Amino acid sequence: MTELTPTASAVPADRLVVRTSAGLVQGGESDGALFWKGLRYAEAPVGLLRWRAPVPVEPWTGVVAATDYGPAAPQISNPAIPLGPDVVKDEDCLSLNIWRSAASTRPLPVMVWIHGGAYTFGSSRQPLFDGTAFVSTGEVVIVTVNYRIGALGFLDLSSVATEEQPFDSNLALRDVLLALEWVQQNIAAFGGDPERVTVFGESAGGGLITTLLTVPSAEGLFHQAIAESSPVSSVYDSVRSAKVAQRMLDQLGVAAGDLARLRDLPAVDIVAAGMAVYAAVPSEEPGTLAFAPVVDGELVPEHPITVLSEGRGLPVPLVIGTNKDEAALFKFMKSPLMPIDEQSITEMLTEIARENSELEMPTRDEILTAYTGLRTHAIGLGVARDVGFRMPTLWSAEGHATVAPVWLYRFDQATPMLRLVGVGATHATELPYVWGNLDTDPKDITFKLGGRKTGRAVSERLQARWRAFATTGSPQGAAGDVEWETFQPAGARSTLVIDRHDALVPDLDGELRAAWGDAVLTFS
């Protein structure tokens, strides 16, 4: 953010100039939307604040320009997640962005977006997440949040902490919590209603949201949630996080008696070491991630999948779902994150069974009954999709529906090009439709063989449902759309299939549930 020269008297009467709890900011206007970008909610997490809980931003004097995005969190470039032109990457990344319609005058419900990226990539500054189209109807205020990622955001060094060198756990989750506190304190000044806050996110962002649903200190910071393709069960215990911490220390060449060096290492070196660990962990232990939220017994008292499946999460309405072909992207990108081949899947299932020895887990053959008739590679994609995304989503929906309304979906829409290259409705393909931004990346192949007309129609319906959920508490969308019934574990288990034409399907996942059984599996 850049400080402007304040007037000699008072700040001009300008709707773009807003007083926050830390000082005055001046935004901009474009295409019928007012926006404020790069708003700091925390001090730079550097030096002694590296690997510590975020600290609220210090007040400033004058008027700070808020017309450009803040830096993205340090990361390597990933062609699958374009950050936009002229991107700056810096540890001083704890900022957020706000959009609302220029025509809106009343307090509006707020939707707070948590971006994805395997807990290691991405930013709120991605062109895909520009909120202009989302706020065009004047129904909601959009907030997008930056948080620490990779080793700087998810490495848990508490196992090696000392009195002289303290470290905190779940740094990224703490960032999001502080951002939500900032929203509660400040969003009214931007035209938002702090009593009607919906958090929504995809992939890692969805995982942070399902974890938030089990964090006691998050109560009251949001009132509804949307979790898209959440890896709900990819949250690990302190034993595994300690192993990752030691692996990182070894990779960085930092001895236990020299922890002070961790505060001074260049961020680029930490990112490089983190990427080596990021690649090694799932290769050696299929189905696991190096960096993810941790059950620390403090901020996250228990495994989220356990809490949610037992109906003990924060009792807020929830929209949750996955994409039909989640795992295809990981195969297409040759990503190590998801086990696709038979050997790695067998290793993963064996390890899950070992970690859940007290449960009556289905056998490998029983699980494979859900994939009868599929080719070998399709079986691998199906198992990876379901163990990583669909089954944890179902377990969460089953439990959370006992304490709050739940709407379950599956996103099936795929363009001709995505079907041709064999990825279909894969991981993250719903995002352009959710945001109404179908053409943000000139290198994107999605619509190269057509499908934009259908895409716009799907996007309009999907956005209408997400906005309706934020404004009314029910994702029914526009008049004439298929009615979306709540998910009832003891009833029809209705699922909305989002495609060229939406359809409500009873017990869409019946065969899958039967094959996987009733055991709710954790990944410690």
Active site residues: 203, 326, 427
DSSP state of 118: T
Q: How far, rounded to the nearest angstrom, does the alpha carbon of residue 124 sit from its chain's CA centroid?
A: 11
Residues 6+ apart with CB under 8 A from 274: 120, 150, 151, 152, 155, 248, 290, 291
81 vs 204: CA distance, rounded Å: 13
- 120 CB-contact burial (10 Å; exposed 0-12 / middle 13-18 / buried 19+): buried
CB 328 within 8 A of CB 381: yes
The answer to whether 244 and 281 have CB atoms below 8 angstroms apart is yes
Residue 225: HSE in the Cβ half-sphere, 13 Å Cα cutoff: 35
Calculate the alpha carbon distances from 96 to 36, 112, 113, 336, 471 in Å.
Answer: 9, 10, 10, 31, 22
Question: In terms of Cα–Cα distance, which of 160, 141, 172 is closest to 238?
Answer: 160
For 72, half-sphere exposure in the C-beta direction (CA atoms, 13 angstrom radius) is 25
State which H helix or E strand residue 33 sits in: strand 33-40
Q: How far apart are CA 462 and CA 465, in angstroms?
A: 5
DSSP summary character for residue 242:
H
Nearest to residue 1, comparing CAs of 41, 42, 26, 38?
38
DSSP character string of 329-357: HHHHTT-SSS--SHHHHHHHHHHHHHHTT
The strand pair at 24-26 and 33-40 is best described as: unpaired
Cβ neighbours of 50 (radius 10 Å): 20
Around 412, how many Cα atoms within 13 Å sit in the side-chain half-sphere?
14
- For residue 410, what are its two tokens? 């599956």
Extended beta strands in 304-374, E state: 318-323
* DSSP run (H or E) holding 506: strand 503-506
Both structure tokens of 94: 């704890």
Q: Edge to edge, what strands does the sheet with 33-40 contain? A: 28-30, 33-40, 95-101, 141-145, 108-114, 192-202, 224-228, 318-323, 406-411, 494-498, 503-506
Secondary structure class of 5 (helix, strand, coil): coil
Cβ atoms 487, 397 nearer than 8 A:
yes
CA distance 228 to 215: 19
Q: Which amino acid is at 17?
A: V
